[in-house]
Chain A
Amino acid sequence: EAGVAQSPRYKIIEKRQSVAFWCNPISGHATLYWYQQILGQGPKLLIQFQNNGVVDDSQLPKDRFSAERLKGVDSTLKIQPAKLEDSAVYLCASSHPGLAGGRGDTQYFGPGTRLTVL
């Protein structure tokens, strides 16, 4: 079974530029998550999709971050314009809603995109 794919793996941009990250979840996984992980901290959830609908975007800085999952499969996270404090690893994860509390609740993470904003 193929894992969660993300691209690019690394990106360096200057502040005020735009950047986009792509994620392809595990086939059949209806739920997709984007996390931000700042160096030395645990990942923080930015947005959660169930199929192509947003379930939780309470921690997404909506003035500069946007995300979409138009066909309920792959997803794109965009930052426009980027700030220095956006330097982080952006992780995508997916899960298949199965037995509540069971392994169906498990999230599978991609390798992440390391963003450096200069």
Chain B
Amino acid sequence: DAKTTQPNSMESNEEEPVHLPCNHSTISGTDYIHWYRQLPSQGPEYVIHGLTSNVNNRMASLAIAEDRKSSTLILHRATLRDAAVYYCILKAAGNKLTFGGGTRVLVKP
């Protein structure tokens, strides 16, 4: 599976947007970009995924670069409950999830 690169950590203030970058320069045409997050003492949970077009759901937005070599997860208004480790994962349909180290997001009140 192609590799992703994420910053180790990011800080944000409560109720401000958070932009989490992910680089994936070796992405293949069949790879979907998945984001999961892991709250403290919980298992990971699905956030969003996309292939080429930007995607929005109730949790977040996913902005995908035109060349697909990078993407950004956007949390529009961070809350204290959004403090978690966020994983960016490339995954072809039906293939396994390969987690990297993720980005630890700290939300300050």
A44-65 contact mask (Cβ, 8 Å, vs B): 1 or 0: 1100100000001000000000
Instruction: For the complex, give the distance between the alpha carbons of A43 and B36 in Å.
Output: 11
Query: Closest CB of chain A to B100's CB: distance in Å?
Result: 6
What mask results when residues 1 to 16 of chain A are scored 1 for a CB within 8 Å of chain B, else 0? 0001000000000000
Number of interface residues of B (CB under 8 A): 22
CB-based contact A97/B43 at 8 Å: no
Main secondary structure of the interface of A (DSSP, over half): loop
Interface footprint category on A: 20 to 34
Q: How far is the CB of A94 from chain B (nearest CB, A)?
A: 11
Whether a CB of chain B sits under 8 angstroms from the CB of A110 is yes
Q: List B93-109 residues whose CB lies under 8 Å from chain A.
A: 93-94, 96-102
Which of B18-26, B44-52, B70-78 has 4 or more CB atoms under 8 Å from chain A?
B44-52
Known: A100-B93, A101-B32, A101-B51. A108 touches B100 (CB 8 A): no
The main secondary structure of chain B at its interface with chain A is loop
| Contact between A106 and B46, CB atoms less than 8 A apart | yes
Contacts of A93 in B (CB 8 A): 43-44
25 examples of A-B residue contacts, CB within 8 angstroms: A33-B96, A41-B101, A42-B85, A43-B44, A45-B96, A45-B97, A48-B96, A91-B43, A91-B44, A100-B94, A101-B32, A101-B51, A105-B91, A105-B93, A105-B94, A107-B36, A107-B44, A108-B45, A109-B42, A109-B43, A109-B44, A109-B45, A110-B43, A111-B41, A111-B43
Tell me the A residues contacting B by CB distance below 8 Å: 4, 33, 41-45, 48, 56, 91, 93, 97, 100-101, 105-112
